Amino acid sequence: MSSLVGVAPLLLLVVAGLSIMVVDAFTRERTELALVTAASLFVAAAVAGVLLVSDGVPASPELVTRYIAVDRLGLFFDVVICAGAGLSALLAGGYLREHGFERGEFYVLLIFTTFGAMVLARAVDLVSIFLGLETMSLGAYALVAYRRTSARSVEGAVKYFLLGSFAAAILLFGSALLYGATGHTGLADIHRSVASGEADAALTIFALVMLVVGLAFKVGAVPFHMWVPDAYEGAPTPVTTFMSVGVKAAAVAVLVRVLVGAFGDPSTMGLYTGWTPVIVLLAVVTMVYGNLAAIVQSSVKRMLAYSSIAHAGYILVGLAAAYQVGSFAVSAVLYYTAAYTVSNVLALGSLILMGSKGKEAVSYDDLAGAGRRHPMAAFPFAVGVLSLLGMPPTAGFFGKYYVFSAAVQAGGPLVWLAVLGVLASAVGAYYYLKVIVYLFMREPEEDAPIAVPMQSGYVVVALVVAGYYVVKMGVTPGRYMDWAISAASSFIS
Amino acid sequence: MNTQILSWLLVVPAFSALVILLVPRQWENAIRRFSIMAMLLELVLSLRLVFADYSTAAYHFVEKVVWVESFGISYKLGVDGVSLWLVILTTALSPIALYASWGSVTTRIKEYAFSFLLLELGMLGAFLALDLFLFYVFWELMLVPMYLIIGVWGGKDRVYAAVKFFVYTMVGSLLMLVAILYVVTSFEALAGHYTFDLQELSSLVLPELPQYLCFAAFALAFAIKVPMFPFHTWLPDAHVQAPTGGSVILAAVLLKLGIYGFIRFAMPLFPVASQALGPALAALGVVGIIYGAYTAWVQRDLKKLIAYSSVSHMGFILLGLFAMNRTGISGAILQMINHGVSTGALFLLVGVIYDRRHTRMLDDFGGLAKVMPWYTLFFVIITMSSIGLPGTNGFIGEFMALAGAFFSRTPIGFGSSWFVMTLLATTGVIFAAVYMLHAVLRMFWGKLENEKNAALSDITRRESLAIIPLIAMVFWIGLYPKFFLDKMNPTVDSFVTDFTVRYYEGRRTSEPRLVDFDELKQKLEAAGGLAMTAIEQEAPR
């Protein structure tokens, strides 16, 4: 039994999800479900964290490891995904009650979606990739549509569902081709087959492109981003938070596993022939488009959706470098994902805090003058956007520094990718600062509806935790970096 | 405490800012007094730095603590003859600027004091940091408080000015970040470990092309901050919109960080590129001198006039700096202090009149000498300092910078010569007299035509308190510059020698490599001494 310790966070979540489902069916008072959910997610994160820093993860049965990796990389993503989901649950505890649609199934869905994301992040077999992806996605579709009386919410969900299904189909097609080319479904076997040259090259490349397209969808990379703004805007804000941190992190994890794990053999591909050019291209268009499109938004939530596209671009910069600098670049990607998680929770959480029943804060105008009226609510918002912008001494700055240094280390054309990346992120100054401008430097128009911050302990706790880590990961990044490095080097040397 | 005095210089503002964050906002007077007291304490602490031995170029009061081990990032501080006076300038001007602010800033006292202390922390950190990463962190850290000071407490178009300031500065500094990463990565490839320590990185010699690219990235960041023509357009906007205290700090200290960055980082790390591109930057400095002077002449808004005069004055500093000899560089450093003192004082004086009349337009004034005699006296003294009258500080600095440029032998190319550049720059001195005296004439002499001016009260004791120390500095530096120059000269000498040695090593390099410069210098010294003018041998005669 002890050999299952390595997947304990997953098992814990299953138990928690099932129990909450049962409890929800038999109780009328479901007010503290948010707390229970968040607590179970944090416990899962803590278990994964303890395993991550402990000396060795106990070996798991071969039946498990064939499909689900039990390594530090998986544990690192467990921590990030569970923490992101836990914080989202806390935000939901404030948000759903304030806006009057709290129901038990939300939390159950959240837990199972998180479970799917964790499976995806650990998947080392084409079969488990697809299973994890679908488990995660189905839950996410339902969560986006959760506010079923809102046309926006439903529109976003339908769009997300249709495009997501396409993406899943493309991914499945790619998997089938890859199986055809190599005769294996396990990523390690595929790696061996590709490296030894047994696999049919043309078929493999075609399959790889399909896989990348399918996964780029989930990451929200341009040009596969069409669903992102609508889904993010339509979804209840805690769901937006979860999608931008948990779902994205899982997709990044599986991209790392597929690209670096299965196709990362330097002996078979060079700088110009491997998957690097594809990822570079994706990174370029994603960063440029995401940042430029974010400028013109009038809704803060939509702006944050485009900003999440832009951040996917920065993550791809780190990934592009992974081919040459290996574990260093992967650790940069890991660190960036964690930093982005806390920063985005802080920004979106503050946006949640800014609104109350019937007066949800959505547009910039809703924020006008809030810094003067409610400085305590505006301050975390400012810190959150500054971290997203990458100002020191915040987590966002160090994350950005880390991925760009990976790109510079890869050398050659990737140095120019880093240059483009910093220029694109300078564009970000414009729209992130707009939040601060409206909070602190504008006054609301006469007789415009004014958003009033809600009173919610849950949201405050989430903001305090996220804010703490935004500062902590920026001021003393050493420890978190070491974790990321140990996670990355367990996977690739 | 003596050994950690630099950390104390950073702890005091950081801690005070934290205290202010925690007290209730209603305690306005307490916040005002406390923030001033904290800055005065800071000034007293910083004066300790003057009493170190600056007869060698070594860094003093060095502290080093490992910050992020796997990246070789350290918290390393130190002060030498170059940064000494800039640190004192910062600690001296900050309380003055804040003190002046308390006359005009009446809203959100708590946030203002918080921003100002944070700003002081950022500026001091940037001057003291000897680790590139730490420097970058402080460099960016200054940005946010200044952005808030302009954007929240500024004039009518404050948001536009604040965003422009932020975006300009950020574009430059982000490219610098990539260049820093490139340097560190190249170092790691050779030495096998990461470091951001400036002294360790100094042993790295890069081949020409990477030097050019990295220097360009650094130079862009610093040139925007200086601001060098044609990157100066954010400055007039920022100055006009910023509150008085913000303008004072912006002109007196923030602009100096650009020049300081050249001296401390860009030139030692990329000597070949700075040698080749330096004259071009000096030429842009000359363009800035003349352009700034002309533009200042036609301004009707007093603050804009002073802002453009800053562009002009910073041109002299660039010229002296890239002359690459002892006189020019010492002059540039001294002129940084002078510009801080005199332009800071000018902005204070503009604030005084603006608080009374709520206008800064020259046309609204005239004949003020009759109603405000003391104010006029102060204004004229500072004007003299600004245009470089002998006996004031401006004369010494500008003279040294121009003399340095005149005797410079750095090859220029394009058929141009330092003589022509110096000549053109000298006309800038004349123009400075024209536009400043023009403004003085319009404001203080003539008939008292506007009735609103008739009842103006003279400068108060409170306002004088902020100005008088600066006037004392004007004459101290003007009459006895030796005290200031003596502290910086050994550092400047060694800077020039190091630069020469580095330059020749760089010229001989086609691959990145590590050179032990201390050893190399000793060898050269033993072989017959280091000619400080070695580069001049290459000059086309």
pLDDT in tens, A311-357: 999 999 999 888 888 788 899 999 999 999 999 999 999 999 888 88
Inter-chain CB proximity B147 and A478 less than 8 Å? no
What pLDDT is recorded for position A342? 94
What pLDDT is recorded for position B416? 66
Inter-chain CB proximity B170 and A408 less than 8 Å? no
pLDDT in tens, A444-471: 777 666 777 888 888 999 999 999 999 9
Percent of chain A clearing pLDDT 70 (strictly above)? 96
pLDDT greater at residue A439 or residue A443: A439
List, as ranges, residues 358-377 from A with C-beta within 8 Å of B: 372, 375
Residues of chain A with C-beta less than 8 angstroms from the C-beta of B177: 401, 404, 422
* Listed range (A194-203, A415-424, B220-229) with the worst mean pLDDT: A194-203
pLDDT in tens, A94-129: 888 888 887 888 999 999 999 999 999 999 999 999
What pLDDT is recorded for position B534? 44
Is A391 part of the contact surface with chain B (CB cutoff 8 Å)? yes
Residue B298 three-state SS:
coil
Give the number of other Cβ atoms within 10 Å of residue B521's Cβ. 16
DSSP 8-state code for residue B294: H
Inter-chain CB proximity B185 and A408 less than 8 Å? yes
What pLDDT is recorded for position A16? 92
Inter-chain CB proximity B70 and A423 less than 8 Å? no
Kindly provide the ipTM of the predicted complex, given to two decimals: 0.88
What pLDDT is recorded for position A271? 44
- Which of B144, B175, B177 is facing A401, going by the closest CB pair? B177
What pLDDT is recorded for position B538? 41
Read off the tokens for B329: 């560089």
Does residue A44 surpass a pLDDT of 90? Answer: yes
Give the number of other Cβ atoms within 10 Å of residue A160's Cβ. 25
Residues of chain B with C-beta less than 8 angstroms from the C-beta of A409: 181, 185, 188
- Which of A408, A422, A477 is facing B175, going by the closest CB pair? A422
- Which of A386, A393, A430 is facing B167, going by the closest CB pair? A430
Average pLDDT of chain A, as a whole number: 87
Does residue A359 surpass a pLDDT of 80? Answer: no
Inter-chain CB proximity A411 and B162 less than 8 Å? no
- The b/e string for B458-481 (b: 16+ C-beta within 10 A; e otherwise) is ebeeebeebbeebbebbeebbeeb
Of all residues in chain B, the one with the smallest CA distance to A410 is B185
Inter-chain CB proximity A418 and B181 less than 8 Å? yes
Which of B93, B112, B94, B92 lies closest to B104 in space, CA to CA? B112
Residues of chain A with C-beta less than 8 angstroms from the C-beta of B136: 392
CA dist B58 → A207, B14, B51, B523 (Å)? 61, 28, 15, 19
Mean pLDDT of A75-94: 93
Interface of B with A (CB under 8 A): 67-71, 108, 111, 136-137, 140-141, 143-144, 147-148, 151-152, 158-159, 162-163, 166-167, 170-171, 174-175, 177-178, 181-182, 184-185, 188
Q: Which residues of chain B have pLDDT under 70?
A: 1-2, 413-416, 528-541
Q: Give the confidence band of A412 by pLDDT, cuts at 50, 70, 90.
A: confident
Which of B378, B390, B330 lies closest to B352 in space, CA to CA? B378
Inter-chain CB proximity B185 and A423 less than 8 Å? no
Inter-chain CB proximity B144 and A386 less than 8 Å? yes
- Which of B70, B111, B137 is facing A482, going by the closest CB pair? B70
Q: How many inter-chain contacts (A to B, CB under 8 Å) are there?
A: 86
What pLDDT is recorded for position B536? 45
Is A379 part of the contact surface with chain B (CB cutoff 8 Å)? no
Of all residues in chain A, the one with the smallest CA distance to B180 is A405
Is A471 part of the contact surface with chain B (CB cutoff 8 Å)? no
Residues of chain B with C-beta less than 8 angstroms from the C-beta of A375: 111
